[in-house]
Structure 1
């Protein structure tokens, strides 16, 4: 089976990870950091907003089951791509909307989807489109965060509604557990 990688930043990586873990065709999701100037940054450094990194989810997916375009359609449904360096109450460059492409084909697909999404949103899309950079996996306690902490306050009030919206909107694309 041939797999591909997608790297997406749509605010807090707990939200992005929780949604894509449920998308059929996504084989693995890792929360991490990319796009900054510091090697091996810590979560604490990321939170300071001085490293230049974005919180991202790196997806390994089977393109025979789910296309990169479909992944981007989900991505644009689960976050607000019109707010610069913020998602809700999460504010800072680490929460920016960004697509890190891994091939010229991904870059072209992303350009087309961003252009199409401009007709969906009332404000201009500010999602960055950048070549993939070094990915640093976040600390272990960030991996599978929503699955392990569904009742934690942020998870209950921020992550859970995004997961619910995804499940309702893309019910035909859910993994069968």
Structure 2
């Protein structure tokens, strides 16, 4: 991650990728394998329309395990997230056995996003589907919201975007 957000935002919406934005089919690295969770792209658009900064925070151990390259991951993200849909993607390419402190449940990736948007954790939320996501939110001082599947739009009220 380089740079800072060019605009100003009052709030920041951060989302895990696998299981929140896309159906988790395991090591999704090709466009043809990427399947949006119902309502996910609409929630991203709604956050943007509310003037929020929007970011994706994701562990990508498939890179570290050699299942796909960092370039393939970046190509996928650029294909499925058209320009302007999100402001930032932060990912950790390491496998859990690499013992990297940047992986969730550590808070480093979320802290990087907060610095990028120049806000503190009280102005952000992070939507995740796993305990490690909520642990990362807690570690970064960000409100964690658990998505348990279904239509992501059902969380709109909890996200303050309804």
Specify the TM-score bucket, using the shorter chain as the normaliser: 0.3 to 0.5
Higher strand share: 1
TM-score (norm: length of structure 1): 0.31
TM-score (norm: length of structure 2): 0.32
